[in-house]
Amino acid sequence: MDDLSYWLALHKASGIGPATFSQLFEHFSKPQQLFDYPETLSELDLTSSQKNAVQQAIQNPDWQAVEKEQLWADEAENHILLQTHPSYPELLKQIHSPPPILFIKGQLNVLNEIQLAMVGSRNPSIDGHETAWQFAHHLAQHGMVITSGMALGIDAQSHYGALQAKGKSIAVAGTGLDRIYPARHKELAWQLIENGAIISEYSLGTGPMKHNFPQRNRIISGLSVGTLVVEAALKSGSLITAYAALEQAREVFAIPGSIHNPLSRGCHQLIKSGAKLVETAEDILEELSSLMIASRVIPDNTASSSAETEHSFKHTEQVRNTHSLLPKVQQKILDNLGYDPISIDTLNIRSGLSVADINANLVLLEVDDYIQSHPGGKVSLKSN
């Protein structure tokens, strides 16, 4: 039985977290020593609960589960990396309590390329959808790997923007890699495997437990030279990722938004706390220019064309409909409006509705206090 088998047995044990595992990993060059001579555990500075967890793992190792994981790693594009593996991400090693073991599905070489984390709301505004896609698309064109969490909303748009630029993207999962969460992202997952990777610190069979997701956020930021927050409420997982990046001495960027959009408040709070306000993807490229390798991609085009934007929406997670009692045409108008004013032409492109239908229903929606008009014939959602 090889060293990895013993480490996997300890890794799967309940109650052995990254901090405990790191102590074991540093102290025992050969993990079999711990299994053969459990009394050596007394040499470590562990709490009684930590010692009990390790003792339970030594006495009752789940060798069947270990064998399953090793068989999984034998399949094409599946990998299990210890911290000592040469492909283990160098930036991730530098954080507090890095994952002792990483499970990877995809391309190993992408793990040590320059990455930018992009995070935000699971239920973003239509403006947030567009912004995430456009930033990721532009940054991927300039050689940055876009790293996120494969969640609904901003995460998914960031992955799609990078992939549609023929760039690379990494997703950090909060489950074991024998399942895809959310399940509707199976197609996205396969694209990531082919053009990047999905990684996790969790053993196979681990389900989407609530406490796993804040924990995995430190990996999203830890892999990356910086974190960009697109839209986030004041209490959100995106801010957990941003504050983890600050603790890791990484750059934090935030996109400002309308003062009437509650999803802009998290970004505004970050900016007040010292995050760098960015308005274009070029702002990020300039800030990180010293880390960037020579561009090998498409000529600069800061704004996506309307055709690109329309194409991106084929892969967009639809904004949750909160106006289900309204006529469908009015629901569609509201689904394609944000708090930033847009023209009727832009609304026509986003929604696919005729200008005549839009104009007729905008009057009704404004009377019912759903939307508001702005100078220049622009409209937006009505702020609270």
**What is the residue-averaged pLDDT of the chain?**
86
Backbone dihedral region of 153: left (phi > 0), alpha (psi from -120 to 50 degrees) or beta? Answer: left
CA 230 to chain centre: 12
For 129, 181, 230, the CA distances from 250, given in Å and listed in that order, are: 25, 27, 17
**pLDDT tens-place string over residues 176-207:** 999 999 999 999 999 999 999 999 999 999 99
**What percent of the chain shows pLDDT beyond 70?**
91
Q: 293 phi and psi, to 5 degrees?
A: -80, 170
Decide if 108-312 and 328-381 have a common fold: no
Q: Label the pairing between strands 196-200 and 101-106.
A: antiparallel
Q: What is the pLDDT of residue 312?
A: 39
Q: What is the pLDDT of residue 49?
A: 87
The H or E element that residue 371 is part of is strand 371-374
Q: 105 phi and psi, to 5 degrees?
A: -125, 110
- The CATH T-level fold of domain 328-381 is Arc Repressor Mutant, subunit A (1.10.10)
Q: Is residue 265 predicted with pLDDT exceeding 60? A: yes
**What is d(CA 162, CA 21) in angstroms, rounded to the nearest whole number?**
35
Q: What is the pLDDT of residue 139?
A: 96
Confidence label for 136 from pLDDT (cuts 50, 70 and 90)? very high
Reported pTM = 0.78
Q: Write out the two tokens for 205.
A: 């069979």
139 or 42, higher pLDDT: 139
What are the structural domain ranges in the chain? 1-74, 108-312, 328-381
Residue type, 47: T
Q: What is the mean pLDDT of residues 246-255?
A: 93
Q: Is residue 318 predicted with pLDDT exceeding 50? A: no
Got the DSSP string for 73-91? HTSTTEEEEETTSTTS-HH
Q: CATH 2.40.170.20: does it fit domain 108-312? A: no
Got the DSSP string for 165-189? TT--EEEE-SS-TTS-SSGGGHHHH
Q: Is residue 231 predicted with pLDDT exceeding 70? A: yes
Q: Write out the two tokens for 370.
A: 């759903």
**pLDDT tens-place string over residues 207-224:** 999 889 999 999 999 999
pLDDT winner (highest mean) among 46-60, 191-205, 229-243, 367-381: 191-205
Q: What is the pLDDT of residue 46?
A: 85
**What is d(CA 363, CA 52) in angstroms, rounded to the nearest whole number?**
68
**What is d(CA 281, CA 303) in angstroms, rounded to the nearest whole number?**
10
Q: 176 phi and psi, to 5 degrees?
A: -70, 155
